Structure 1
Amino acid sequence: MPEDYQDLVLAAYKKMRDNGELYTILPKETTTRLRTACLKVYDSRYIPKEADVLPNDADILSVFFEIDKMKCDDYGKVINDSEPDDFKALCNHIKGETGKTSEENTDLLAWLIDLEPRPRSSYYLSPDKTIKIGGKPIDLFLPPSTPPDQPEPPTPSKSFYIPRFSPRYIILSCIILLFVCTASFAVWERWVKIVRMPESGEKYMYWDGDHYEPVKEGEQKAGVPIIKLNLQALKRQRRINLHDTMTNYSVGKVWHIKIGNNPEFYTDSGIHPVDTARRLRPMSSYVHTKYNSYPRYILTHLVWFICAAFLISICGFGASRMKRKMSAQKNGQTTNDSLLHFSKRKLAQ
Structure 2
Amino acid sequence: MKTSETYKKEILEKYNTDKGGEMSGYLAEPTRKKIREACLWLLNRRKEKNDEYILNQFFQFKEGEDKESHIKKLKGYKADKFVPVIQYLKGITRDTSSENLELISWLIDFQPRPLQVYRKPENLISVEKSNTSNEEISVGVPSEEEVNKGKEGVRSRKEEQSTKEKKRRWIITFSISIAFAAILVIAKSGMFVEPIVPTENKCMAWAKNHYEEVSCNLTFHKEYGTKIEPYDSNKIANFKKVKVTMKTDFFAEGTNKPLIWYTKNKDGKIEYFTSPGLHPVTGKTLDEITPYIIQKYVPLHSGGINSFAD
TM-score category (smaller protein): 0.3 to 0.5
Structure 2 length normalisation: TM-score? 0.39
User: Which structure has the higher relative contact order (CA within 8 Å, separation 6+)?
Assistant: 1
Normalising by the residue count of structure 1, what TM-score does the alignment of the two structures yield? Answer: 0.35
Point out the structure with max Rg over C-alpha.
Answer: 1
